Structure 1
Amino acid sequence: MPETRAFDLVVIGAGAAGLSVTAVAAQLGVRVALIERGRMGGDCLNFGCVPSKALLAAARHAAAIRAAARFGVTAGEPQVDFTRVLDHVHHAIAEIAPNDSEERFTGLGATVIRGEARFAGPDTVAVNGMTLKARRVVIAAGARAAVPPIPGLDTVPYLTNETLWQNRTRPRHLIVIGGGPIGLEMAFAHRRLGAEVTVLEAARMLGRDDPELAEGALLALKDEGIALREGVRIARIEGSGGAIAAVLDAGGGREERIEGSHLLIATGRRPNLDTLDLDRAGIETTRLGVKVDRGLRSVSNRRVYAIGDIADIDGIGPRQFTHVGSYHAGIVVRSALFRLPAKIDYAALPRVTYIAPELAQVGLTEAEAREAGHRDLAILRWPLAENDRAIAEGTTRGLVKVVATPKGRILGAGILAPHAGEMIGMWGLAITTGAKLSTVAGMIAPYPTLSEAGKRAAGQAFVPKLFAPMTKRLVALLRRLG
């Protein structure tokens, strides 16, 4: 007979979301089992956020050397040792890995099991010949790269975000299929490290971002020398290692060949649910993930929560960011462990595309606000060309754009600027706390900083009233009164 063990909580998946739940539960003395079939730390540590930002850091240093002459510093063309660049990437992963390790979580009091988890019933999970009975189960299985059904793709070697970090040869010409944040970040990094790069996108690149800000970001990428092709149809992929061609349907029976040395697929992600036997636990799914309510509980099995990249909330789909996984973990801890009401609220959910300048968004874009029924909006802007810090550093391409109601309630903000990811937090806090434009406009910002642009954008809401004829008459009257 298989061994049966009882737990208060079983967590499937040791990525950011699963680790966050497990850490809190273990430290509270909860009997918690954490199951992971692959690498501890999940996608973020091993294939996503950490390696990509390490690669982008190397690219940033290469670009700084090229740009040094603008500031009177002679350096010349940087010499990029791509093998050492990848060494830096893997060093970053290794430095962070102990925080996500089996040893750390065992030390916190969790039972860590390395193996393939499968549901054997509504409250039962089977792994490694054992049966785990649980009061609550949290599915945090994450997602993987989705590979599109392009003819010929299966006949050539290609990279995804999971295999990219094993490539230690700098591409001569990298072809990227997918113009979302992942595809554009990797295109940008490889271009700055010396590769020729072409990005192919079937629809519009950065399609979820504010079009005004996205346009500026794409122009910056073009200025880097990246070839961006939107609205393309790929008829087929052909070639072999080192000589891969994307054959485009050019219309009218014509074709266009784009030849490269490496191919990166960045066309979205799909949930890791195939092997979990969710039907045996009565867990309803969609093509996007586990169908859950706004408290992240399965709509068909109330003992089960689904969080992170696989949580299809009210049919709106997952928000596949590491910080969302950590946020979801907090919801589950309050609900499953403390039995408190807790529901997600994405009103202040931030996202960042780490190119140069960075593109950051929190809350609603202008289009999303209008779709949500806000007919009258205050759209406030401040260009980086009017920011003294940006002028001093020669980085004046960019804009702060704020979306608010006529009464000053902040609905969203978008920033195209260096370090936009660091600047967007202020706007997230403003939305979360209900702070109005007057609060942001009235704050004291250090000078000179890029964050002043946000204060100046908020202040634009009050300029018409400040310099209105009635205000001028009032000042004139007060002057006469002495």
Structure 2
Amino acid sequence: MQILKVDVAVIGAGTAGLVAYRAARAQGARTVMIEGGHYGTTCARVGCMPSKLLIAAAEAAHMLDAAAGFGVHAGEKRIDGVAVMDRVRRERDRFVGFVLDGVDSIPDADKLRGHARFTGPHTLVVDDGAGRVSEVEAARVVIASGSTPTRLPKLENVGPGVITSDEVFDWHDLPRSVAVIGTGVIGLELGQALARLGVRVSLYARGGSVAQLTDPVVLRKAGQVLREEIDLHFQTEIVKAEQDGDEVVLCMREGGEERCARFQYVLMAAGRTPNVADIGIEHAGLALGTNGVPLFDSRTMQCGTSHIFIAGDANNERPVLPEAADHGKIAGDNAGRYPDIRPGLRRAPLTAAFTEPNIVTLGASYKSLCEPGKPKFAIGQVSFENQGRSRVMLQNKGMLRVYGEYGSGRFLGAEMIAPRGEHLGHLLAWAVQARMTVDQMLEMPFYHPVIEEGVRTALRDLATELAKDASSTDPAEMEPGT
């Protein structure tokens, strides 16, 4: 058995793991990076990049459908599913290749292939699956083991027609029909994209959630807007699924009534699960949360007061690539210079679903602001139905709600389903991180005609509410229809 003694062992070579490795090395620590799967990161292989390639193709198809609204009439639309998926795979492989180039630049002595398991707080056993086992004695450890698509018990062992999002991007042609289980970011993005590419799609949600939204007004508007284009079902329960030839018979219960439908594929898109259950975490001497993830400090990524740090999707805090990179930097820095633990840079939260309209949340969420003990906050809003630039582009759908703190006037966050929301979200997230007040934001330049003028309208509405007496105002009273 090979025995390695290192200062820092990093479990996982995804976004968080790669950044953690480089950060620990920069601190002068002898570091090894352990990976049991493919190099290439979740984002590049099966996440953000291939999904955006599919969405780009869907947007091109949708533009042809929308052209008639401008008086522009194209010829017969033809979608070549083989060509669509060929480009998705080719470009996906290019993005993966860029990551692999970075991995290749890491010295071979710093890379260890195989599945890592804790056998003690400072020891790991790494099995490459081919009979070679190594033991790593590490003064510090960074857990960056990533996540995998959540699998639903009632859809297990049904047959080849039940898949996860990891398998979508290896298709060689577009399917005839897909049932998407889950209305989170992944399910909505893939479901809308496939529908726009001519695939018969139905989306099913166990509850009433839409992506990461928590604001009831924005959530209600998102459901209305998305239902105009997608066969979307809330409050549904999976009853059973059976493989029948090259199709899956899926039975769901909705409103007390059971219905069955046939689909070529049933796509499980009910989120992702941190990869901490199979790494011997019980031997690491850490306190665990109810989800099996070690308890950690989000400012330092340190697990308790231990020498172990956790970063990226493995800690399930904010499972998006920019956060994984920040987590990795903080964890790697602290593991490298341990026991000198320092808080790292945490940016304003920002999450986007690349549906059309985009669904974006940033800063403090509506739900978090409503928690007991939190100061009262004011709300401003704007509908995009009559917003000038949005109407010009025939993209006048959606709602933006912005939040501000009484007294200080500080801008706190926003939730939206909005045209070009990915850009509005960045603008507003920067304002949150800069701790700007609403009045300061309204002093910034706004050109005409731009969608950002909708932001100004919402901020003006918020400023009016902030001028009122906080003691006589309740956010619930502002909700339309309440």
Q: Normalised by the shorter chain, which TM-score bucket?
A: 0.7 to 0.9
Moved more, 361-370 or 439-448: 361-370
Tell me: CA distance 1:208–1:417, structure 2 relative to 1, closer, same or farther (3 Å): closer
Distance 2:323 2:279 in 1: 22
Distance 2:307 2:466 in 1: 56
Moved more, 187-196 or 124-133: 124-133
Q: Which residue number corresponds to residue 423 of structure 2?
A: 422
Given that 2:23 and 2:336 are in contact with CA atoms closer than 8 Å, whether structure 1 keeps it comes out as no
Distance 1:152 1:325 in 2: 29
Moved more, 332-341 or 75-84: 332-341
Tell me: CA distance 1:463–1:306, structure 2 relative to 1, closer, same or farther (3 Å): closer
The alpha-carbon deviation at position 386 of structure 1 amounts to 4.3
Deviation track 1:53-80 (CA, whole Å, cap 9, x = no partner) reads 1111111111011111222322144311
Tell me: CA distance 1:410–1:30, structure 2 relative to 1, closer, same or farther (3 Å): same
Q: Percent identity?
A: 27
Structure 2 segments unaligned to the other structure (5+ residues): 127-131, 468-482
| Residue 255 (1) aligns with residue 258 (2) | yes
Given that 1:50 and 1:93 are in contact with CA atoms closer than 8 Å, whether structure 2 keeps it comes out as yes
Given that 1:171 and 1:261 are in contact with CA atoms closer than 8 Å, whether structure 2 keeps it comes out as yes
Given that 2:276 and 2:293 are in contact with CA atoms closer than 8 Å, whether structure 1 keeps it comes out as yes
Deviation track 1:355-398 (CA, whole Å, cap 9, x = no partner) reads 11001001223343122534532211122234332122121112
Tell me: CA distance 1:153–1:245, structure 2 relative to 1, closer, same or farther (3 Å): farther
**1:238 counterpart SS class:** strand
| Residue 451 (1) aligns with residue 442 (2) | no
**Match among 226, 229, 254 for residue 221 of structure 1:** 226
Distance 1:216 1:451 in 2: 19
Deviation track 1:37-65 (CA, whole Å, cap 9, x = no partner) reads 11212322111111111111111111011
Moved more, 194-203 or 370-379: 370-379
**1:248 counterpart SS class:** strand
Q: Which residue number corresponds to residue 442 of structure 1?
A: 443
Distance 1:355 1:288 in 2: 32
Q: Which residue number corresponds to residue 337 of structure 1?
A: 336
Deviation track 1:396-452 (CA, whole Å, cap 9, x = no partner) reads 112221011123112211232222122212222222221110111110123322223
Moved more, 142-151 or 289-298: 289-298
Tell me: CA distance 1:290–1:13, structure 2 relative to 1, closer, same or farther (3 Å): same
1:375-454 → structure 2 map (5 Å cutoff): 376-407=376-407, 408-454=409-455
Q: Which residue number corresponds to residue 232 of structure 1?
A: 236
Q: Which residue number corresponds to residue 473 of structure 2?
A: none
| Residue 137 (1) aligns with residue 141 (2) | yes
Given that 1:39 and 1:46 are in contact with CA atoms closer than 8 Å, whether structure 2 keeps it comes out as no
Distance 2:374 2:282 in 1: 41
Distance 2:125 2:317 in 1: 26
AA aligned opposite 1:107: S
| Residue 92 (1) aligns with residue 97 (2) | no
The alpha-carbon deviation at position 345 of structure 1 amounts to 5.3
**Match among 278, 282, 286 for residue 283 of structure 1:** 286
Distance 1:31 1:41 in 2: 23
Structure 1 segments unaligned to the other structure (5+ residues): 312-316, 467-482
Q: TM-score, normalised by structure 2?
A: 0.87
AA aligned opposite 1:105: V
AA aligned opposite 2:406: P
Moved more, 207-216 or 169-178: 207-216
The alpha-carbon deviation at position 304 of structure 1 amounts to 1.0
Q: Which residue number corresponds to residue 216 of structure 2?
A: 211
Q: Which residue number corresponds to residue 103 of structure 2?
A: 105
Q: TM-score, normalised by structure 1?
A: 0.87
Q: Which residue number corresponds to residue 319 of structure 1?
A: 318
Given that 2:396 and 2:419 are in contact with CA atoms closer than 8 Å, whether structure 1 keeps it comes out as no
Distance 1:12 1:47 in 2: 20
Tell me: CA distance 1:32–1:375, structure 2 relative to 1, closer, same or farther (3 Å): closer
Distance 2:76 2:382 in 1: 34
From the CA coordinates, give the structure whose radius of gyration is larger. 1
Aligned pairs, number = 455
Q: Which residue number corresponds to residue 474 of structure 2?
A: none
The alpha-carbon deviation at position 343 of structure 1 amounts to 6.0
Q: Which residue number corresponds to residue 177 of structure 1?
A: 181
Moved more, 322-331 or 286-295: 286-295
**2:455 counterpart SS class:** helix
Q: Which residue number corresponds to residue 245 of structure 1?
A: 249
Distance 1:45 1:289 in 2: 25
| Residue 271 (1) aligns with residue 269 (2) | no
Moved more, 289-298 or 388-397: 289-298
The alpha-carbon deviation at position 156 of structure 1 amounts to 5.5
Distance 2:36 2:458 in 1: 48
Tell me: CA distance 1:186–1:250, structure 2 relative to 1, closer, same or farther (3 Å): closer
Q: Which residue number corresponds to residue 477 of structure 2?
A: none
Q: Which residue number corresponds to residue 302 of structure 2?
A: 297
Q: Which residue number corresponds to residue 192 of structure 2?
A: 188
AA aligned opposite 1:274: A
Deviation track 1:443-462 (CA, whole Å, cap 9, x = no partner) reads 01233222232233222344
The alpha-carbon deviation at position 6 of structure 1 amounts to 2.5
Of structures 1 and 2, the one with the larger relative CO (CA 8 A, separation 6+) is: 2
The alpha-carbon deviation at position 117 of structure 1 amounts to 1.4
Deviation track 1:3-51 (CA, whole Å, cap 9, x = no partner) reads 3223222111111111111233345554221111112123221111111
The alpha-carbon deviation at position 138 of structure 1 amounts to 0.5
Tell me: CA distance 1:278–1:366, structure 2 relative to 1, closer, same or farther (3 Å): closer
Distance 1:337 1:264 in 2: 41
AA aligned opposite 1:423: L
Q: Which residue number corresponds to residue 160 of structure 1?
A: 164
Distance 2:371 2:218 in 1: 18
Moved more, 199-208 or 243-252: 243-252
Distance 1:13 1:274 in 2: 14
Given that 1:152 and 1:238 are in contact with CA atoms closer than 8 Å, whether structure 2 keeps it comes out as no
AA aligned opposite 2:94: E
Deviation track 1:149-177 (CA, whole Å, cap 9, x = no partner) reads 11675346311011112222322221111
Given that 1:288 and 1:318 are in contact with CA atoms closer than 8 Å, whether structure 2 keeps it comes out as no
AA aligned opposite 2:102: R
Distance 1:222 1:29 in 2: 54
AA aligned opposite 2:364: L
Given that 1:65 and 1:78 are in contact with CA atoms closer than 8 Å, whether structure 2 keeps it comes out as yes
Q: Which residue number corresponds to residue 9 of structure 1?
A: 8
**2:115 counterpart SS class:** coil
Given that 1:334 and 1:342 are in contact with CA atoms closer than 8 Å, whether structure 2 keeps it comes out as no
Moved more, 413-422 or 121-130: 121-130
Distance 2:173 2:292 in 1: 35
Distance 1:434 1:118 in 2: 42
Distance 1:44 1:356 in 2: 21
